[in-house]
Chains A and B, each alone.
Chain A
Amino acid sequence: MSVKFLKRSGIDPGEGVRAGLMFSYIFLVIASLLIVKPVRTSLFLTEFGAEQLPYAFMLVALVSAVVARFYFKLASRFSLNRLISIWLLSSAVSLAVIWLLLHRGYQEGWFVYLFYIWVAVFGAISASQFWLLANYVFNSREAKRIFGFLGAGAIAGGIFGGYLTNLLVPFTGTNNLILICSGFILIIYSIFRIIWRKYARRNLQKSLSSRRRKSRGISTRDPVKLVLSSKHTTYMAGVIGIGVFVASLVDYQFSAIASEIVTDEDQLTAFFGYWYSNISVAALFVQFLLTRHILRRLGVGASLYFLPAGVLLGSALVLFAPSLGTVIIVKFFEGGFKQSINKAGLELLALPLPGEIKNRAKTFIDTFVPSIAEGSGGALLLLCTIILGISVQHISIVVLASLALWYVLLRRVNKEYVNSFRLAIEKRSVDLEELTLNVNDASVQQIFERVLEGANPKQIMYVLQLLEQVKSETISPYLEKLVTHPSDKVKAQVLKLAVEVSDLDFTEQARDYVPSNDADLRIAAIYYLCRKSSDPINKLMGFLKDEAIQVQAAAGIAAAHLFNDDAEIRKTFNVAQLWEETKRYQESMELSEVEDEFMRINRAEMFGIVQTDEFNPYLLELLEDESTKVLCAAIHAAGKNKAPEFVPVLIKRLGTKVVRSYARIALAEYGDEVIDELVKRIEDRFEEIEVRHSSIKVLAMIGSQQAAKNLFDCIDREETELRYAVLKAVNKIKDNLPTLKLNSRKINAQLKQEIEIHQDLLQILNLHRAEKEDFSDDSPSSSKQLEYHSAGGLLEKTIEERLARNMERIFRFLGLKYPQKDVYNAYLGVVSRDPVRHANAIEFLDNLLDFNLKQAIIPLLEPGTRRIFPHRLLLHDCHEHRVDDYLSYLVNGSDNWLAACSLFFIASSRDVKFYPLAEKQLTSPLLIVRETAEYAVKRLKSTE
């Protein structure tokens, strides 16, 4: 029974505890809310009457907007764990304090207002925290199945809370309910701790990095501009806003009429508790009985008309026959449709928007727009009731007028929805991972039909992939039409989908497709036939021992998928034994070299799909294969498998040029687990340079805080190229992870070092240029002069290049300290040849940088600067020795190429005073330095 219930609720075996804990969490959050909500409303109405409700609405809107903004900021600084813990504990304490004050008879006006606002903020933040947590507890596939169950938990919590209030008030009185609520929140906290420890923590990092990758480029965009940038999101915001606006008017009418009739505070609390629960029951009823049906028959567009139509009917009744009965009817329509059919319709409206735009725009719309709308509702009520003296009954006229605007907005948003959907399918931009598609939606169906009957196989494939998420009988008509489609890819996708549809039988077609030339179709056909067979293992063995190796190979992949997808098969299916048997059979066949390679690739692919430790020894063998193609497939499989024993081999493969990029991707799949191993390689001077550089790239691909921290610890290495690669990698991580935290003292130290190098190089360049000019003044035009100038030119160009790279490094470090995008734009301005852009960039940096940095960096950026930095290395006041000074500095420095260019310049000068300097480098371990020193010594000797 319970298994059946779980299955019907979309919960797979093994997910019960997790889903149960999350269900309890939201159940108690909404129950608590539905306990304190009637308490605060009755307290407010008894204290101030309905006339002051508009002020409360406006204050709630204002405070919610401020709190939401503040909360967003906190959310970017603190971990979700800390945020939820602090919020729940402080809420429980706040409620206890409120109870204590009310218990002691403290009912000052400001305090009642504060309580009213507190309840609104508590509701908004607690629910939002829950859904955020749910995103870490469940992956996207689980979420699609389980979120409906959690939604039901919220509605059930609403019903429970309301009825409990109604039931308990006669015994406890209104105020004591607050203490019960505080107790509920402490239970929620305990549940949260278990959820966090057992499920959420481990998923958080992974989920964050994947979101970071997806959010690149959009996350920094102003959300208001983002919403206004498309008609679709603008009208969506409008529809949500007008809904909240009208709800505030209806709520006012409901509260005002109720408080006129029910005057006792406890009775009023019980009244609200009772009716809020009834409304929740109505919402549940509509949700389960009507929502799916309406969406299927009429589509998203029509589903959104139910709420305004209900409000229209109810408001007309209130207008012509104002009474408690009619106002309850309008509240019933408003509350019942809002939480069910309208909510589902609004969620689906955002579906065709590209993934991250959808997240950002919708988060903004869901948090800010209701506040603004509720505030506007409060302001209008204030105008109507206090200033214009309109009665509660005639507020219905304002409601009816607002419905006209609501209707216009709905027409427009529906048009945009269909347009966006069409565009998303054409561009194939609907995010499959985030899809919560309702294939039953009539308007979606129309678009699908048009695409599936069209001639574009790519679009058909895309729609079929969308439908893969649905796996319902409703897709059968599409599949029947497409199973004989000319495209093999389409046929393969159809067979994949048809496996889950019980009323279809494509056995005959699948049998015909087994010998197909297309590998995907072969695999899909074998998989289909095995899944639909009463004896899948026997069926599979038949294909595994087929004469054609293509069929054997496809059967291997199909076997791997069968093992993964079907729990029943997994129980009875000894995959290792099957593999051994197949291997023996294949070895008995006389395969050509090409066929053998093909089968080895196939095995690697298969091991990548099954991901069981039993295959690890075989996969290790393939990771040493001599064929590049097999190696690539094996590396890919190892990355999917993520077994620790593959790590050393994969790292070794970073040194193999042709498979290096595959090895990087595979290692990055391991995430934080491989960081220590990679750092060891980076730090090992005797490791191949390519392995070291690739290890840096893998850490950048992992992109986590830990990867960045470990990378940054390698930044003070002497090897310039490695240091640059590390810096670049940390920048890349920061780009995707703006909240990245690094040791700021270390950044400052590195910046100081780079600035000093730049100052030195800039002085050397100026001295070198002056030296070159002096030489051309003194000497006649000769081959000696030409030689001197070309060697001097090479040295000058090399110093300029070093300055440019050093400047890039300075900006890269600045990017770790300040907003990276701003710093990058400033860098582009600084290196630009356009003097206006250059000046603007300097001005920008002047405003951005700290005082000390500004003092150090801006002088380096001034055009044609010939500034001397007296605290730096050279003996500037000793003009006679300046050439000796800077050439000696360069030749003895750690930059080998610069040393070689300086030695070449020395050779061209034919000045014997440099002989000792050149001679010293004859023993240099570096070929380029030694070779040029030999050349210089020879030239200087010949001058002697």
Chain B
Amino acid sequence: MLTTIEKVIILQGVDVFEDVPTEGLAHIASIAEVFDYPENTDIFKEYGRADSMYLVLEGSVVLRQGEKEVMVAKEKEAFGTWALFDDEPRIVTATTREPVKLLRIDEEDFLDLLADDVRITRGVLKSLVKRVRGLMALAARKQG
């Protein structure tokens, strides 16, 4: 069983949370639950409803688009992050490669947290803006 602070240490590594204050991460940690999945289990399927994000605590998870392997999420890596921000269906299928331990954050709980704590909201927005700026700079460089 992970303590709140252990979860915070893990959440620190997630890029959308990098600007959230540590105390805010503790609040996010309080809504994050640990789940165990056996080997070769689908955590979610492509085109399925996106309602939570995951962080790998132990083991690894393969993400596939159709038959094509897109990436492998290893320890301390997050996947399905965008489910926290929009209602679009999943674009990949996530399958465990071995028995895994995951930290799951539910979209609804997360949005409630955002509504209650402006500092978490500000931190998340800051990270998202950083990302958009990065993409814009990249696009400008490509055009130039």
Q: Which residues of A contact B (CB under 8 A)?
A: 657, 790-791, 794, 797-798, 801, 897, 900-901, 904, 928, 931-932, 935
Contact = CB atoms under 8 A, between A and B. Distances in A.
Query: How big is the B interface, by class?
Result: 10 to 19
A797 B22 contact: yes
B8 interface: yes
Contacts of B8: 794
Contact of B5 (A797, A801, A932): A932
B143 interface: no
A928 B22 contact: no
Contacts of B9: 790-791, 794
The A contact surface, by secondary structure, is helix
B3 A931 contact: yes
Nearest to B25: A794
A798 B23 contact: yes
Given A790-B9, A794-B8, A794-B12, A935 B22 contact: no
27 contacts: A790-B9, A794-B5, A794-B8, A794-B9, A794-B12, A797-B22, A798-B23, A801-B21, A801-B23, A897-B22, A897-B23, A897-B26, A900-B4, A900-B5, A900-B26, A901-B22, A904-B3, A904-B5, A928-B4, A928-B5, A928-B26, A931-B3, A932-B3, A932-B5, A935-B3, A935-B5, A935-B6
B120 to A, nearest CB: 13
Nearest to B13: A790
A40 B26 CA distance: 79
A897 B6 CA distance: 13
A935 B1 CA distance: 11
A721 to B, nearest CB: 10
Given A790-B9, A794-B9, A794-B12, A932 B4 contact: yes
B29 to A, nearest CB: 10
Nearest to A795: B22
Nearest to A657: B115
A801 to B, nearest CB: 5
A904 B12 CA distance: 15
B113 to A, nearest CB: 13
Interface string B6-47: 101100100000000111001000000000000000000000
Contacts of B21: 801
B133 to A, nearest CB: 15
Contacts of B22: 794, 797-798, 801, 897, 901
A935 B9 CA distance: 14
B23 A931 contact: no
Nearest to A932: B5
Interface in B79-104: none
B16 to A, nearest CB: 17
B76 to A, nearest CB: 11
A50 to B, nearest CB: 71
Contacts of A797: 22
Contacts of A798: 22-23
A928 to B, nearest CB: 6
Contacts of A904: 3, 5
Given A794-B12, A897-B26, 8 more contacts: A790-B9, A797-B22, A801-B23, A897-B22, A928-B4, A931-B4, A932-B4, A935-B6
A577 B115 CA distance: 44
B89 to A, nearest CB: 28
A900 B23 CA distance: 10
A790 B8 CA distance: 11
Which 8 pairs, one residue from A and one from B, show the smallest C-beta to C-beta distance?
Answer: A897-B23, A904-B5, A798-B22, A935-B3, A801-B21, A790-B9, A931-B3, A932-B5
Nearest to A797: B22
A797 B22 CA distance: 7
A901 B22 CA distance: 9
A657 B114 CA distance: 13
Contacts of A791: 9
The CB with the most chain B CB atoms within 10 A, among A790, A897, A901, A932, is that of: A897
Nearest to B115: A657
B72 to A, nearest CB: 23
Nearest to A900: B5
Contacts of A901: 5, 22
A420 to B, nearest CB: 37
Contacts of A935: 3, 5-6
